[in-house]
Structure 1
Amino acid sequence: MATAAIARPQVSDAEWEARQELAACYRVFAMLGWDEMIYNHITVKVPGEDNAFLINPYGLHFSEVCASNLVKIDIDGNKLTDNPYPVNPAGFTQHSVFHRHLPDAHCVMHTHTTAGMAVSALEGGLQPINFYACNFIGQVAYHDFEGVTVRAEEGERLIANLGDKRAMFLRNHGILVMGKTLPQAFLMHWGLQRACEIQMATLSMGQPVHVPEDVVAVHQRDLSKVQIPGGPGKADFDAMVRLVDRIDTSWRN
């Protein structure tokens, strides 16, 4: 599929800002190797529109996504702007259920990284054996694999299994995270991805050392002490966007 040229849609300043932030995020994921051909999704709610969100155009690589070609759809999957690209039903089905039912799920990210899929397929899942894993112990939900996510009725089980968590392993499938902001979700995904990468490396060498539960609790308690102003993930995400801009700034269009 050739990349179609799309003029900047007539949208509010707030929506355009959200489009640019989301497009930048797709480029960051591509730069970090978290892309999966034309598959997987990052979505954000449209500011001021509770029943609308933005999703990547199905058929484009993450490195081809820009602010203007993102597809705006409502919670039922209907396109809200003129856009020649289709939407992947698997992405809509999964992401819409969280945007519909969770007011704090502004941004939802789902990937099929090698490390994320490997840990999701491991008996016991994430283990408390490294710094980043300790960020998430007790904070991650699990959902059993039911096949490609295109059936709306699976949404009830996704919500039930997620509970009050905002990070989840889709077993045998990959990583799912969500946040009140895109940078917050980005930082969560980055940390969980690093935890999975290090777990893969550790388990390949032998028996790991498990961090005791009381130490994990202290670690999670003290994490807030290393945050910098701007909100969770803001400085981290901005740094990655600066790196992307050294490669290509077309995401802004």
Structure 2
Amino acid sequence: MQTEAELRVDLAACFRLIHLYGWDDIVFTHISVRVPGSGHQFLINRFDLTFEEITASNLVKVDFSGDEAVVRELRVNPAGLVIHSAIQENRPDAECVVHCHTQAGIAVSSQRDGLLPVSQQAMLVLGSLGYHDYEGLVLHDDEKPRLVKSLGQNEYLMLRHHGLLTVGRTVADAFKRMYTLQRACETQIMAQSGGAALAVVAPAARERLREDVRRVTKGNDGALIWPALLRRLDRLDPGYKD
């Protein structure tokens, strides 16, 4: 099990990578990771910092209760608190939750049929993808049960007209899933822009692909890529460790 100090470094790295890939939305999205132990707490970003400003030491620790005074004092996005506390409390396996407002993600989430099986990345996602209908800014606790139900036991979630969300047992796993989901959305928008009818992949081939990927990666997608991503950050943007 990782220590809180190690999780802080990984989470700060995730924010910097989201910025590096251009998936951030000034200060308006959020990523969290559960703090080890029985304190029912998680780490999340301050609302007044852009993603390239986030470091291991300026992440803030909040609990599942969402005490408003604490939120104001620590300057946490209230929508982020609702989303992350709902999932962190109800999905013990979801140690990390990544939420983004990417243009491609919002575009696909707004389409009636959602994500289509038109790319290899999409086929990796479709077996574990949920959808959550738009209810406005996620500020109210009464939306929590519906959000949790929409995610279910899936690893990926599309919030209709809003954005993308992924979960993982590690920061690395949740980031890798966001990368895959985002690429699938980008590819779908590009394919649709050509105007031709789209060919979809047969269900049997989708399942075979997912099994082949599990064999190749041994179920360790995040662990496979994370050291290389950290080395990239160390070359380009090492301040995340501070």
Give the TM-score, by structure 1 length.
Answer: 0.89
What is the total number of aligned residue pairs between the two structures?
238
1:39, CA displacement in angstroms? 1.1
Amino acid paired to 1:104: D
Q: What CA deviation, in whole Å up to 9, does each residue of 1:97-146 have, x standing for no partner?
A: 01111110100010001111111111100000011001112320001000
**Segment of structure 1 superposing worse, 47-56 or 167-176:** 47-56
Let me know the Cα RMSD of the aligned residues: 1.8
How do residues 133-148 of structure 1 correspond to structure 2 at under 5 angstroms? 133-148=122-137
Amino acid paired to 1:132: Q
1:151 lines up with 2:168 in the alignment: no
Which has a greater percent of helix? Answer: 2
Which residue is 1:26 aligned to?
15
Which residue is 1:93 aligned to?
82
Give unpaired runs (5+ residues) of structure 1: 1-12
Which residue is 1:222 aligned to?
212
Cα distance in 2 between the residues matched to 1:78 and 1:54:
15
Give unpaired runs (5+ residues) of structure 2: none
Which residue is 1:176 aligned to?
165
The 1:92/1:133 distance shift into structure 2, 3 A limit, reads same
Assess if the C-alpha contact under 8 Å between 2:217 and 2:224 holds in 1. no
Give the TM-score, by structure 2 length.
Answer: 0.93
Cα distance in 1 between the residues matched to 2:21 and 2:38:
31
Q: What CA deviation, in whole Å up to 9, does each residue of 1:5-36 have, x standing for no partner?
A: xxxxxxxx811111111001111111111111
Identical-pair percentage: 39
1:26 partner SS: helix
2:33 partner SS: strand
Cα distance in 1 between the residues matched to 2:218 and 2:229:
16
Assess if the C-alpha contact under 8 Å between 2:46 and 2:74 holds in 1. yes
Q: Which runs of 4+ in 1 moved over 3 A?
A: none
Cα distance in 1 between the residues matched to 2:218 and 2:206:
22
Match of 1:233 among 214, 222, 225: 222
